[in-house]
Chains A and B, each alone.
Chain A
Amino acid sequence: VGHPEIFPLVFTTKTQDIFNCRADEDVTEENCFKLIKKEDIIQDLKTRDAISDFHPVKKIVLEYPGEELLVVFDAKFQYGQNFYLVASEEAKENLLKPPETAEEEKEKEEKGEETLEVHPYKPPVHKPWVSLGSEKEVEEESVKEAVPKIKYMISRVRRKFGAPITFTDRNASHVEDSYVECTPYQDKSFSIKMLEKDLGIQMVPKLREASTQTKWTYPKNAATQYFPRQLSNEEKEESLSSKKLKEFLTSVHLRMEIALQQNEIMNAFFDDWKALAEDERSSAGKPYVYLKAYQSFTNLHYLKNRTISCICWHPTIYGIIAVSARGQLSHEEQVNLSDKSLLHQSFIAFWSFSDPLHPQLMLECPEDIYCFQFSPSDPNIIAGGCINGQVVLWDISQHEEKLQNAKTVAEENEVTAVNMVNASVPNILQYIYLSVGENGTELPLVRYCAVSSIQYSHKKTVTDIHWLSDYLEENRMGANAENRPETCVQLITCSPDCSILFWDIPATRLPQQSSSEKTKEDIFHMPPDVPDTSKHLDLCWKPLTKINLHKSAINRDGPTRICLREMHYHYKTSEKVKSLNLLELLNKESPYTETSPSSSKNPKVLESISIDFFVGTEDGDIVYSVWKVDIDSFAAKPVSQKHTQKYTIHSEAINTLQKSPFFKNIILSIGGQNFAIWKEGVTNGPVHQSSCSAGRNTAGQWSLTRPGVFFIGRDDGNIDIWDLTKKTYKPSHLQSISESMITFISPWIGSPMQHFLGVSDDLGVLHVLEICPMLSYPLTNEYANVLDYFEREAKYLKHCEQEFKEYQEFQSK
């Protein structure tokens, strides 16, 4: 068992003696090997045969190839007996050799370990299977038939085959012992605990079906470009002349005509409900007060003994009004300029709604200002005309921000108000230069930046000043060029010295310059915040051109008011000369090319300017004339005598001559005890004339929102509100505003809900009144109605004239 070449043998004492391998004598534990010759063993076998110890291994011995067999003394009974026979040469060698090799190896290791034994690779050798007892287990587990099967054969007696059979039923339980029962019972002595049980398990995964569907949309830009189908000209011609079209037109023509006629007869769009509502509003609930007092502005120090000569609202900033004040001088004193006191400092004051006691800004003037205007294109430039005939220019762009934030200053100034009122400082000059209040809020004083030279200005008071807008251009063909929003750069002034002067703004005064250094205002010196560039213009500013009305025989007295009707620039087209402005041509030093409006299409040369205007004179005459200014000759002359018309309606000097904001050819003139409305083109007389009233009319303006309403101020401090849609023979309403004479009226639209009327009086107080909605919002069709009225009046005048002519003719016969 185990090693096939090892056969355990029992050696008797006799055998041991024979072979000289007695235990513990010849062979010991250390020296256990004994080589016995094969022939000896064979001889022993022959002699003792069955009782020989070698008997079981007889065959092996006989087959043994070698000469000597190895017998090993097994002292420890390793293989079961005290001796064992090694059956193969190889094993013999191994047994004899290995102890030696082991000893050799040990010796080798002790001697030197440098020599490494390289074991050549030996592939695994196929070894025979060695049974370890597993076949026994397999045998035990396998199922075999242990008991032979018993066979039974049952058959019937032969003779009974095929015989008729009778079946009967018999209940088994009736007959005893017909069956043997073997009932199950629980055997108490029997108990087997089941320790082990074979179970089979199968694992099945849970199966579930699920599905999703995704929609993948990505944005994609898609565009189509299309153009409409159009027929070519030939096709159009063909269709137009085709018979079918003719038939169509004839059939359709009647229907269309009916429809058009219907439209002509009646306006189907007319909203009756709305019209009804309008009348309701006007008739029911008359407002108690037409002009509600909103605010009053006055200042005891600056405006003491002064009268306000002109009011202007700031065009863009809400709530800012400028007033110009001048001394309350009688007419004679006004003429004599040398009577002017030196302490009499002139200024224009800016008021803000937020502060009724202190003006926001003061503009310094060389003389009292009679009239002034904001430039329509740039509200920071103000032009004013003085009593002595000079024209003054201011630039307030540095203070624009302050004006816009005027509200915040109000509270701070309230503290100082008390101080202001109580202090009594007769020297106004000093006061203007001192700062106001301890809080450090200063009253800015703006010095004028340009004043005209005395030599070339008017000789008398500048009574009217207007800015000219440069938009009306006309070339020879008469076609109008498009209106371009341009900077207003030209002024026109008139004066009782019978001249009308045209001025241009010095180029350096344009708003681009306003961003120059903002030095801190040094109140004890002249404020240097005026750009230096314009200093050289002080007293050097000259007018462009002059219209001398003196030459015409019609005018004896000077104009007080001017109302420009139209200005036409006549150009001569030429290729060489670049496009020009009026100023460039006349004032060649002016570096105006960059900023002047240029008509880029056709370079033109300015040939002449024709102006038509109305002029109201000191004597109460209204003169309408057309003048033409020839550029080359630099002389202005009337176009023709025929065009000059003169009307004497008023008894005193005209104080207002204003074009209606709604109708281009309607002008209101106010003077003395009556007023008149003129329509241009109607030369026989005014379209509307009021009857002479008890008091004098001293001021007046058209309403800005209602075409048929205008306000007239009187010398007793009342305001007459005239509403042409209601009554044309007397004012629709009277309201008393102040005690003294009204000097100027100026309406303004502050916001769509708030319409203001600025009224100034002789005491230097500016009243701001709020116009009631009834007077602010126009009625439906008011424009058409008022226009109609004027036309009717014009027709009536014409009719009257004709009748008069006829009468004259009749008389002469």
Chain B
Amino acid sequence: GIPIRTTLDNSATIPYASLLHQLTMKTRSIVRDIDPLDDLTFLRIRSKKHEIMVASDKDYFLIVIQNPCE
């Protein structure tokens, strides 16, 4: 994925964009394999340090990275 607009610095944006793009594609294919009429709307990844949220569409996707409250 090519980032269009970002609030992070460049070195952080590019890995997020490319890796999450691949993951989103994979997830979408999983969802559609199970039920062809279904489609991926939202993807949330929770890790120790952050929560990553991805909202996806046909052409674009929006990534939000959040720190969880202590």
Contacts and interface: CB of A to CB of B under 8 A. Distances in A.
B57 A263 contact: no
A256 B55 contact: yes
Interface in A241-278: 244-245, 248-249, 251-252, 255-256, 259-260, 263-264, 267-269
A255 B42 contact: yes
Interface string A376-413: 00000000000000000000000000000000000000
Given A255-B55, A264-B69, A784-B70, 7 more contacts: A229-B2, A239-B4, A240-B5, A255-B42, A256-B42, A256-B62, A263-B69
Most central of B4, B48, B51, B70 by chain A CB within 10 Å: B4
Interface in A198-216: none
A269 B66 CA distance: 12
Contacts of B60: 244-245, 248
A108 interface: no
Nearest to A236: B4
B19 to A, nearest CB: 11
B59 A248 contact: yes
Interface in B1-53: 2-5, 14, 17-18, 41-42, 44, 46, 48, 51, 53
B69 A228 contact: no
B57 A267 contact: no
Contact of A236 (B5, B17, B62, B70): B5
Nearest to A265: B69
Contacts of B51: 263, 268
Contacts of B17: 228
Given A259-B42, A268-B46, A231 B2 contact: yes
Nearest to A269: B68
- The residue among A228, A240, A245, A255 with the most chain B CB atoms within 10 A of its own CB is A228
Nearest to A249: B62
A230 interface: yes
B55 to A, nearest CB: 4
Interface residues of B, number: 24
B28 to A, nearest CB: 14
A267 B66 CA distance: 12
A259 B62 contact: no
Contacts of A255: 41-42, 55
Contacts of B55: 252, 255-256
Nearest to A266: B69
A274 to B, nearest CB: 13
Nearest to A237: B4
B4 A267 contact: no
Nearest to A781: B70
A781 B69 CA distance: 13
Contacts of B57: 248, 251-252
Scoring B14, B48, B60 by chain A CB atoms within 10 A of each residue's CB, the highest score goes to: B60
A265 to B, nearest CB: 10
Given A248-B59, A255-B42, A263 B4 contact: no
A240 B4 contact: yes
The 7 closest A-B pairs by CB, nearest first: A252-B55, A269-B68, A267-B69, A248-B57, A228-B14, A248-B60, A239-B4
Q: Is the interface of A mostly helix, strand, loop or mixed?
A: helix
Contacts of B4: 231, 236, 239-240, 245
Contacts of A252: 55, 57, 62
Given A252-B55, A255-B41, A255-B55, A260 B46 contact: no
A234 to B, nearest CB: 12
Interface of A: 228-231, 236, 239-240, 244-245, 248-249, 251-252, 255-256, 259-260, 263-264, 267-269, 781, 784
Nearest to A258: B42
21 contacts: A229-B2, A236-B4, A236-B5, A239-B4, A240-B4, A244-B60, A245-B4, A245-B60, A248-B57, A248-B62, A255-B41, A259-B44, A260-B66, A263-B51, A263-B66, A267-B70, A268-B46, A269-B46, A269-B48, A269-B68, A781-B70
B1 to A, nearest CB: 9
A255 B53 CA distance: 10
Contacts of B18: 228
B68 A267 contact: yes
Contacts of A239: 4
Contacts of A781: 70
Nearest to B41: A255
A252 B70 CA distance: 27
A573 B34 CA distance: 68
Nearest to A238: B4
Contacts of B5: 236, 240
A512 B69 CA distance: 49
Contacts of B68: 263, 267-269
A427 to B, nearest CB: 64
Nearest to A239: B4
Nearest to B56: A252
A230 B13 CA distance: 11
Contacts of A228: 2, 14, 17-18
Contacts of A245: 4, 60
A477 to B, nearest CB: 23
A781 to B, nearest CB: 8
B41 to A, nearest CB: 6
Contacts of B48: 269
Contacts of A229: 2
A248 B54 CA distance: 13
B44 A230 contact: no
A592 to B, nearest CB: 39
A269 B44 CA distance: 13
Contacts of B14: 228
B27 to A, nearest CB: 15
Contacts of B70: 267, 781, 784
Contacts of A268: 46, 51, 68
A248 B41 CA distance: 12
Q: Identify which of B17, B18, B46, B68 gathers the most chain A CB atoms within 10 Å of its CB.
A: B68
Contacts of B69: 263-264, 267
A268 B42 CA distance: 17
Nearest to A227: B14
A230 B11 CA distance: 12
B66 to A, nearest CB: 6
Nearest to B64: A256
Contacts of B3: 230
Contacts of A256: 42, 53, 55, 62, 64
A668 to B, nearest CB: 26
A263 to B, nearest CB: 6
A251 B59 CA distance: 13
A312 B17 CA distance: 54
B32 to A, nearest CB: 19
Contacts of B53: 256, 259-260
Nearest to B13: A228
Contacts of B44: 259
Contacts of B42: 255-256, 259
A717 to B, nearest CB: 42
Nearest to B18: A228
Nearest to A230: B2
A267 B62 CA distance: 22
A230 to B, nearest CB: 6
A260 B62 contact: no
A698 B14 CA distance: 60
A245 B5 CA distance: 12
A259 to B, nearest CB: 5
